[in-house]
């Protein structure tokens, strides 16, 4: 019987596992890096053990340190969560060699599925349908497009789509380099890229008594950079025959490797309805809550039960009911190449209502650092129908108050309301086609109204209170006062708004026709326009102002009346968009080199993602400050490109 469980992970998944442990009466142990010393998962655990350092390679990826931490804390079992060491057969073996219970599949099953190329051979022998591999060295034009994939690992690392034969050698090199960096294994293989394919997976749960459950389907087609963004269960629009084929194939895959515990068999479903095996994840998935919601199960509790040698509760799983949709809330800017964001999370407030679930590793006041994945939370909605679940989730996200770095919240809301999503026209190219529309700027009129509310709240904060609780906006004079001005820049789209208001005998007024100030307090402003009353909640943090409304939120930077000349940047400067590490430079890149507009010059790795820094114009690289291995802060000057049109002539 497990009495004390160490979770070899961090953040949201560690907190989620601890929640089940508390319900089962199991004591918990966290491990943490120096960067996570104050993290939520550390605060929620009964015991916590420090792993010195900040980089994953020095901490959460050090299996020897994690095993030592479990022994030092008196744990008798280890749960790997997902990511990090969760699919590392050597770590699983080390846990068991130390006399600890491994809450995961057998080492042999992990080894068999660790390499996608080996797994595909095994699945072919088991009769599971799959795409035939393509030898990159022998690829022809008719084989295109191709998908390059890392043989080890997942999460989209090492994946490239190749549409031109001439691009294949360079993309192979880049994919292999990224795979080696991410997984320590540079093996890459190629297979046909299926246009408009759907990513559909089957959750399996197996025990050591020959019991195997196939727990329905999930659709995870909405992805960015081959990483999932929105998931749902059951996968919509599949006929019974296809569901049966997927269930039977997943069960065959689990039995073929003698599986035990929770796992996921992933498929690509082509537009013609034919399914192809992609891989088997020998761990719990990020999106497991949607399956829990429709089956009424706790998959972590089942993992623990199976690890203790118990059978599954019955020979067949319970019947699913309703529909569930999950959205991953990231600190990232989708409009700017999905750049991860860092900084203080001043407020994270998601509605707590029936049908909603929040899984997170953050609370208000925490800091989003540079070392790990930028996912803030998962928000899950369950309802009797798909339409109701998607509507509930979109509205909950819209009403959430999230103050701090830029997030993908608006993208999620718009995705859930997009006609293609509503009609279940799903495939992995959704964001490639619709990103521009989904990341459009906020309506300018709504934005200006929110900026007006921000200006009035600032005026109220600078005013004085008098008897009776009213606010005096300054000494009243029997003469028209000069209007007061405040300037705001909307984030992240950069629009600037200048707001004029005037102090009156009754308080304050704005010089906008048809707009009336109903009330203006320090934290709430009510405005009326065309007989419609709207409320605005305002929170100011330094020069940032967050304005929440019933239909969305706005973030502004309060601007000084005059721009500081010292803030100007030399034209053509390439600045680091985030803190990170320079991992690659373009071949032959050096000061004096000729570059073309849009040419990738520098590759920056931050928060488990690679970002390309592109030449802003065609011209000459007049300065290069970046070098491979250099760690940079946001805003650091990496290089300078002089526009060819501005270069001096002889």
In the chain, CATH 2.40.50.100 covers 569-643
3-state secondary structure (DSSP) of residue 538? strand
Is beta strand 600-606 parallel, antiparallel or unpaired with respect to 580-585? antiparallel
φ/ψ of 210, rounded to 5, equals: 70, 15
Of residues 232, 249, 274, the one with CA closest to residue 131: 274
What's the pLDDT tens digit per position in 322-374? 999 999 999 999 999 999 999 999 999 999 999 999 999 999 999 999 899 99
Structure confidence at residue 464 (pLDDT): 55
Res 54 pLDDT > 80: yes
In the CATH scheme, what is the code of domain 4-103?
3.40.50.20
CATH fit for domain 444-559, picks 3.40.50, 3.30.200, 3.30.70, 3.30.700: 3.30.700
Band of the pLDDT at 37, cuts 50, 70, 90?
Answer: very high
What's the pLDDT tens digit per position in 210-234? 999 999 999 999 999 889 999 999 9
Please say whether the beta carbons of 60 and 10 come within 8 A: yes
* Secondary structure (DSSP) of 48-105: EEEESSSSGGGTTT-HHHHHHHHHHHT-SEEE--SSTTTT-HHHHHHHHHTTPEE-SS
What's the pLDDT tens digit per position in 253-283? 999 999 999 999 999 999 999 999 988 999 9
Q: Going by C-beta distance under 8 Å and a sequence separation of 6 or more, which residues neighbour residue 310?
A: 207
Tell me the CATH class for 569-643.
mainly beta
In the chain, CATH 3.40.50.20 covers 4-103
Active site residues: 283
What's the pLDDT tens digit per position in 280-320? 999 999 999 999 999 999 999 999 999 999 999 999 999 99
d(CA 106, CA 95): 12
Q: Once rounded to an integer, what is the mean pLDDT over residues 634-646? A: 84
CB atoms within 10 A of CB 215: 26
Looking up tokens 């699913």, which residue turns up?
Answer: 320
Q: Going by C-beta distance under 8 Å and a sequence separation of 6 or more, which residues neighbour residue 125?
A: 256
Across the chain, mean pLDDT equals 91
State yes or no: cis peptide before 145, omega within 30 of 0: yes
Structure confidence at residue 632 (pLDDT): 86
Structure confidence at residue 500 (pLDDT): 93
Band of the pLDDT at 647, cuts 50, 70, 90?
Answer: low
Please say whether the beta carbons of 186 and 195 come within 8 A: no
Tokens of 575: 């600045």
- Cα radius of gyration (the chain): 27
Please say whether the beta carbons of 267 and 202 come within 8 A: yes
Is beta strand 609-614 parallel, antiparallel or unpaired with respect to 619-624? unpaired
d(CA 220, CA 287): 9
Res 563 pLDDT > 90: no
CATH homologous superfamily for the domain 132-192: ATP-grasp fold, A domain (3.30.1490.20)
Structure confidence at residue 466 (pLDDT): 44
In the chain, CATH 3.30.1490.20 covers 132-192
Tell me the CATH class for 198-438.
alpha beta
In the chain, CATH 3.30.470.20 covers 198-438
Res 608 pLDDT > 70: no
Please say whether the beta carbons of 333 and 368 come within 8 A: no
């Amino acid at each position: 019987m497990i009495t004390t469980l160490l979770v070899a992970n961090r953040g949201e998944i560690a907190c989620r596992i601890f929640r089940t442990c508390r319900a089962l009466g199991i004591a918990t142990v966290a491990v943490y890096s120096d960067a996570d010393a104050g993290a939520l998962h550390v605060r929620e655990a009964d015991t916590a053990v420090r792993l010195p350092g900040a980089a994953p390679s020095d901490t959460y990826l050090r299996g020897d340190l994690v095993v030592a931490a479990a022994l030092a804390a008196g744990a008798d079992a280890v749960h790997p969560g997902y990511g990090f060491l969760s699919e590392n057969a050597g770590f699983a073996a080390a846990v068991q060699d130390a006399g600890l219970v491994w809450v995961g599949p057998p080492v042999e099953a992990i080894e068999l599925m660790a390499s996608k190329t080996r797994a595909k051979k095994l699945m072919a022998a088991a009769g599971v349908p799959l795409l035939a591999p393509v030898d990159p060295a022998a690829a022809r034009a008719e084989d295109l497009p191709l998908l390059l994939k890392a043989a080890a690992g997942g999460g989209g690392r090492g994946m490239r789509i190749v549409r031109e034969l001439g691009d294949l050698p360079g993309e192979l090199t880049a994919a292999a380099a990224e795979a080696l960096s991410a997984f320590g294994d540079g093996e890459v293989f190629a297979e046909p890229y299926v246009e408009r394919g759907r990513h559909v997976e089957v959750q399996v749960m197996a025990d050591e008594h020959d019991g195997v459950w196939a727990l329905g389907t999930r659709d995870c087609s909405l992805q960015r950079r081959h990483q999932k963004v929105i998931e749902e269960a059951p996968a919509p629009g599949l006929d019974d025959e296809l569901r049966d084929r997927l269930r039977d194939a997943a069960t065959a895959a689990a039995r073929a490797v003698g599986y035990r515990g929770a796992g996921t068999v992933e498929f690509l479903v082509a537009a013609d309805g034919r399914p192809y095996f992609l891989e088997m994840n020998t761990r719990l998935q990020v999106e497991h809550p949607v399956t829990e919601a429709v089956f009424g199960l706790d998959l972590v509790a089942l993992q623990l039960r199976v690890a203790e040698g118990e059978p599954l509760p019955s020979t067949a799983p319970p019947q699913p009911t309703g529909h569930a949709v999950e959205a991953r809330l990231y600190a990232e800017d989708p409009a700017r190449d999905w750049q991860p964001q860092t900084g203080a999370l001043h407020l994270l407030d998601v509605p707590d209502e029936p049908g909603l679930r929040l899984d997170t590793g953050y609370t208000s006041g925490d800091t989003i650092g540079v070392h790990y994945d930028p996912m803030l939370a998962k928000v899950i909605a369950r309802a009797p129908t798909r339409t109701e679940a998607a509507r509930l989730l979109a509205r909950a996200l819209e009403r959430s108050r999230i103050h701090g770095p830029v997030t993908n919240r608006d993208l999620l809301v718009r995705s859930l309301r997009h006609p293609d999503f509503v009609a279940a026209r799903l495939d992995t190219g959704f964001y490639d086609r619709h990103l521009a529309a989904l990341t459009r700027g906020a309506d300018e009129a709504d934005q200006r109204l929110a900026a007006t509310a921000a200006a009035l709240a600032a005026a109220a904060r600078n005013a004085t209170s008098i008897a009776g609780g009213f606010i005096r906006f300054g000494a009243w004079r029997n003469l028209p006062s000069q209007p007061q001005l405040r300037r705001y820049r909307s984030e992240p789209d950069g629009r600037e708004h200048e707001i004029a208001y005037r102090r009156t005998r009754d308080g304050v007024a704005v010089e906008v026709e048809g707009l009336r100030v109903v009330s203006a307090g320090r934290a709430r402003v009510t405005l009326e326009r065309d007989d419609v009353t709207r409320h605005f909640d305002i929170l100011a943090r330094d020069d940032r102002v967050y304005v929440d409304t019933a239909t969305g939120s706005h973030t502004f930077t309060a601007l000084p009346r005059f721009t500081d000349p010292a803030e100007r940047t030399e034209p053509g400067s390439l600045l680091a968009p985030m803190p990170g590490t320079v991992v690659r430079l373009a071949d032959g890149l050096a000061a004096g080199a000729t570059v073309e507009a849009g040419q990738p010059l520098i590759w920056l790795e931050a928060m488990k993602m690679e970002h390309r820094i592109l030449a802003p114009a065609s011209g000459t690289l007049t300065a290069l400050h970046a070098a491979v291995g250099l760690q940079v802060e946001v805003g650091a000057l990496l290089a300078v490109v002089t526009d060819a049109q501005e270069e001096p002539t002889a």
